[in-house]
Amino acid sequence: MSAEVFFTQILNGLVSGAMYALIGAGVALIYGTQRILNFAQGEFFMLAAFGLFLLSTQVGLPLVVSAVCAVILVAAFAALVYRAAIQPLMNREGWEFSTIAVTLGIAVLLQNVAFLLWGEKYQTVPYFIDGSIAIAGIAMPLQRVLVFATCVGVIVAMTLFLKYSRLGWAIRATAQQPDAAAVVGVPVQRIRMLTFAIGCGLAAIAAVVLAPIYAVNPWIGVPHLLKGFVVVIMGGIGSFPGAILAGFVLGIVEAIGITLTSSEWRDVIAFAAVILVIWLRPAGLLGKS
């Protein structure tokens, strides 16, 4: 592998790593705060991509406006789904499995509703910005730079939000001690619904910046969901910084890995890594064992 190929792959790895980190952060936020493994996360990703496509090409809104609207709509829809299908399960016995089962059912439902409404054809969304820039002599499309910048920016903003805002405190308090949080006046149920919506919103943000690169169809959510799970397990399930670190590690390992083998084996590398991590270090890279 020449130095140039290697360096290009590192750059590509950073871009997909930022994307994995953002998707993983969404999964980790929901899991970390309420122990729900959300199998429908990928479908909120898919819906946001479709939202961007429909609002920009069918309704005719400007791209950026469409993207913002799509993210907000998806987050609101996620809150609704939480309220209707997940919250009722939380007080029942065996909720850990029933929430997985119900989100899996919702995922299948949403995929097939999207398929019936919009068909299976890959729909394309225009780039937010055209052109490319040279980074150390390697041409990088600006859209990919935008993906990287957005993902990193959102992750940083999210970290600061959780750490310093009152709402962020409420979210963390609810995660750590729901009863104590309720005693000091935190509306626990609403915070949980909000956290779920934000977690799905993070997937939606990843979706709208990625849609121009990957195109849109009802089945695009599943691979991203699986990658999100991989990242979250590797980073230590529920650990926000762990998910981010694991996202970048996975992005770079995959990018190097596919130049050594071929792109069709990429997912095997990721899934084998996740089984090994669980086998050898179940708590993940940064998780507490």
Partner 1 sequence: MRAPNWPLFLVAMLAIALLPLVFRNGYALHIMILALIYAIFAQAWNLVTGFGGMKTFGHQAFFGMGAYASALLSMQAGLSPWITIWIAALATSLAGVLIALPVLRIRSVPHIAIVTLAFAEIVRIIVSNLRGITRGELGLIGIPGFDALTLPVIGLVRFTPAQKLGYFYLAWLLFAVVTAGFLAARNSAHGMRVLAMRDGQDAAESLGVNIAAYKIALFFISAFIVGLIGAFYAHYIIVLTPSSVLGVDIMVLVIAMTLVGGIGTVAGPIVGAVLLVVSVELMRDLGQYRMLVYGGLIVLSVLYFPNGLASLADRVRPWRRAPERSLEQQDNQP
Give the phi and the psi of residue 131 in degrees, each rounded to 5. 85, 175
Least separation in angstroms between CB 131 and partner 1: 35
Least separation in angstroms between CB 282 and partner 1: 4
Q: What are 133's strand-pairing partners?
A: 140
C-beta of 58 vs 289, nearer to partner 1: 289
Contact 199, 45 (CB under 8 A): no
C-beta of 111 vs 143, nearer to partner 1: 111
Contact 241, 252 (CB under 8 A): no
Least separation in angstroms between CB 153 and partner 1: 28
Burial bucket for residue 1 (CB in 10 Å: 0-12, 13-18, 19+): exposed
Least separation in angstroms between CB 42 and partner 1: 11
Q: What are 139's strand-pairing partners?
A: 134
What single-letter amino acid sits at 95? W
Least separation in angstroms between CB 272 and partner 1: 6
C-beta of 156 vs 268, nearer to partner 1: 268
**How far apart (Å, rounded) are the C-alpha atoms in residues 209 and 151?**
9
Give the phi and the psi of residue 70 in degrees, each rounded to 5. -60, -45
List contacts with partner 1 (CB under 8 A): 31, 35, 37, 85, 88-89, 92-94, 96-98, 100-102, 104-109, 111-113, 116, 222, 226, 229-230, 233, 237, 264-265, 267-268, 271-272, 274-275, 278-279, 282-283, 287, 289
